[in-house]
Structure 1
Amino acid sequence: MNWIEAVGYLGTALTIAATAMSTMIPLRIISLCASCAVVTYGILIGSMPVVLTECIQIPFNAYRLWEMVRLIRQTEIASSGDLTHEWLAPFGTKRRFRAGQTVFSKGDAADELFYVENGVFLIPEVGIEVGKGGIVGELGLLSPGNTRTASLVCLQAGSALRISYSEVKQLYYQNPEFGFYFLKLTSERLFQSAKGGERIAAGDAI
């Protein structure tokens, strides 16, 4: 076996190793290394189809790796005290609400959380208002039966980002570090909510 074949075998080994990875960041890193090795091998043997295939994959893997690294950095910042939750924005869908509109009612099925961008929302059962920067509905993900423990009504017209629990779960399973930081944030929100108060804002949740 000459050194050119060794490069090819290295690319094959790294490709197989990538498929065995259970978390996304190591998978993307190994995939990038595998692509580089295969591209080198393709150039050495003069196979442009091999080179072209891997060159197409490299930007996709690099972008996904950058996304996950950015997510981890943002959640690290959030868990250390920056509770603005702006890191959730890329995963949400904006919804607008009019004054008096019921967002959800106690006992409803809970399958999404909301990040308030503007406006004021009220949790009538406990008399708590949720303002800009607040998160509401996340505890439904942890409640028995995934049902709402309270209602949410829009007091002043505004908008909120809707993030589905399926999106949160997907992020959790793709990257355990995200799951850890999200659970840490949820715990902090529970402690903050236990303190009470008339207004939840700038990152508090219920």
Structure 2
Amino acid sequence: MNWIEAIGYLGTALTISASAMSTMIPLRIISLCASCAVITYGVMIGSIPVVLTECIQIPFNAYRLWEMIKLVRDTETAAAGNLSLEWLAPFGSKRRFGTGETVFRKGDPADELYYVESGVFLIPEVGIEIKRGGIVGELGLLSPGNTRTASLVCMQAGRALRISYSEVKQLYYQNPEFGFYFLKLTSERLFNSVNGSERVAAGDAL
């Protein structure tokens, strides 16, 4: 076996290895390496079809690799809580609220969440303020019977984006960044609700 055949066998081994992988980033990297090896082999033996096939595959694998790396970075940003949600605007309708207006009450049917664009809103049961850039109403999506777990009152006139739960579900499945942020948000809100309830109970006991 000469070195030209060795390159060909290397390309074959890398192609088989890529096909056996289950994680996407290593798979794309190995596929690109396999394509480079096969192209080199094809040039050495003068096979244009082999070279052409691999040259077509390289841009696809490179693009998918870039997508996966970008996805990992975006999900890390989302998990860190630094994700801006201004891109949600096309998925909802805007509504203005006046000072003292009740947006919803505990026990009401829940079919939408709100992204606060301006103003200040308060969850009175736990004393949590929601300001610009915050999301509220998300727990209704997870509660039994889709009912509000707390009330929401506008403390300072502002505007919020209303997003239906059907849109939220689509975003959750289609946009991993939003999915990670949503999971983190609901977890934090649940912990805050528990802590707030404990503070209220302690105050009543006093």
Taking structure 2 as the reference length, the TM-score comes to 0.61
Counting matched residue pairs gives: 177
Question: Equivalent residue of 1:10, what SS?
Answer: helix
Correspondence 1:8 to 2:8 = no
Select the structure with the greater relative contact order (CA < 8 A; seq sep ≥ 6): 1
Correspondence 1:58 to 2:62 = yes
What residue is the counterpart of 2:75 in the other structure? Answer: 71
Question: Equivalent residue of 2:157, what SS?
Answer: strand
Query: 2:97 aligned to 96, 99, 118, which one?
Result: 99
What residue is the counterpart of 1:203 in the other structure? Answer: none
- Segments of structure 2 that go 5 or more residues without pairing to the other structure are 43-47, 198-206
Distance change in 2, residues 1:125/1:186 (3 Å): closer
Mapping 1:1-206, distance limit 5 Å: 2-18=5-21, 21=22, 26-45=23-42, 46=48, 47-75=51-79, 77-78=80-81, 86-89=82-85, 92-93=88-89, 95-99=93-97, 106-110=107-111, 113-121=113-121, 130-150=130-150, 156-160=157-161, 162=163, 164-169=168-173, 183=183, 185-196=185-196
Contact 2:114–2:160 under 8 Å retained in 1: no
Question: Equivalent residue of 1:189, what SS?
Answer: helix
Which amino acid counterpart does residue 8 of structure 1 have in structure 2? Answer: G
Deviates more, 1:99-108 or 1:33-42: 99-108
Which amino acid counterpart does residue 20 of structure 2 have in structure 1? Answer: A
Shift of residue 170 of structure 1?
5.0
Distance change in 2, residues 1:137/1:122 (3 Å): same
Which amino acid counterpart does residue 96 of structure 1 have in structure 2? Answer: K
Q: Distance in 2 between matches of 1:27 and 1:63?
A: 10
Distance change in 2, residues 1:7/1:104 (3 Å): farther
% same residue: 37
Q: Distance in 1 between matches of 2:139 and 2:37?
A: 50
- Segments of structure 1 that go 5 or more residues without pairing to the other structure are 79-85, 198-206
Which amino acid counterpart does residue 92 of structure 1 have in structure 2? Answer: L
Which amino acid counterpart does residue 73 of structure 2 have in structure 1? Answer: V
Q: Distance in 2 between matches of 1:92 and 1:48?
A: 42
Distance change in 2, residues 1:127/1:185 (3 Å): closer
Contact 1:98–1:158 under 8 Å retained in 2: yes
Distance change in 2, residues 1:53/1:144 (3 Å): same
Contact 1:39–1:55 under 8 Å retained in 2: no
Shift of residue 103 of structure 1?
6.5
Contact 1:43–1:51 under 8 Å retained in 2: no
Larger Rg: 2
Question: Equivalent residue of 1:145, what SS?
Answer: coil
